[in-house]
Structure 1
């Protein structure tokens, strides 16, 4: 069954940027949500407890988890993975269906939905002198198009560029537009769409190592 369909309750969690989102989704209707500014180490567990208490939902009622997998805050992604893994062992005995989404893909699809249907680049800083780049040329954006760019991304920018400001730790390329991670409510537009979610056996962040990406070094024009 498509995780975006049906009447069962789904847990939706985001811990990629400078905020934490926890929500319960039924079909494409939000039953409740909690957004807290700050890091996930301090705020993810309280956010989960808040939505469970308000909706009188038990952890065992949530058999589908939809979680943010990066690339993003490594601390946030690791704390999310540890908390959900512990929760699964304590409450579900490995009976959970798990689906990962990428914050970059989410942002790119929101750009496509609300700003432009033309090709563009979505960039976010990853580490010193390295960037995550999502080249969006075909509709819709997918996780498979993610690359790591070593060096100055401006050397190979040939499309309008957006920078995901949630992870802004470097000077963005000239002419780019800075964006924030979309509001959690916008996920309802994408969860049921092809290619947005990736089913996983465990909570598997994308940013667990560089091997998840195809490395690419920009080449400068010959002098």
Structure 2
């Protein structure tokens, strides 16, 4: 390989360790804080969708349609547009439109409906006979949720949050391009804008490593929990 090409495009002196560590911490912060909220909000929305879909009454159909439309609306908006639309919200909540914290509302609102649909599907795959038997024995809705629905669908729920987390890692990279920080910001501002291709390469590799780790942890948890 031509030495001049390597020296031009892969100059390791361009990579500053402090900046790389800071960007990595910001990406981890955005990813895992938003994942926590997405897991809670998505579970609640998915549970509502499942409950409203079980009984074919006019009230339930109406409620299901309302929740479904709201969920589909936020799920359909491209993330970068949603991020820009929520800049005023981030500014009101956090006093700034830049930085990793400012990206959290968009990350949470874009990923929660996505995970909610996965939760709904996971609950629908639970054996209806088990649910009906629990109802026949006098189990309350809360007992059915905690002792039947969630335990029976836990492998699918973990697979869903794994996929959602990986999706949000990609979203953090896009958010970085408009001032949210993280590895996406490092790759764009320090790498692309300054014509430093080594920085782009290293940032990309770190994002890939993070994706592989999240997927590995998710697969490991599913194997340990799934008794089928």
TM superposition score normalised by structure 1: 0.25
Structure with larger RCO (C-alpha < 8 A, sep 6+): 2
Which structure's CA Rg is the greater one?
Answer: 2
Flag the structure with higher strand content. 1
TM superposition score normalised by structure 2: 0.25
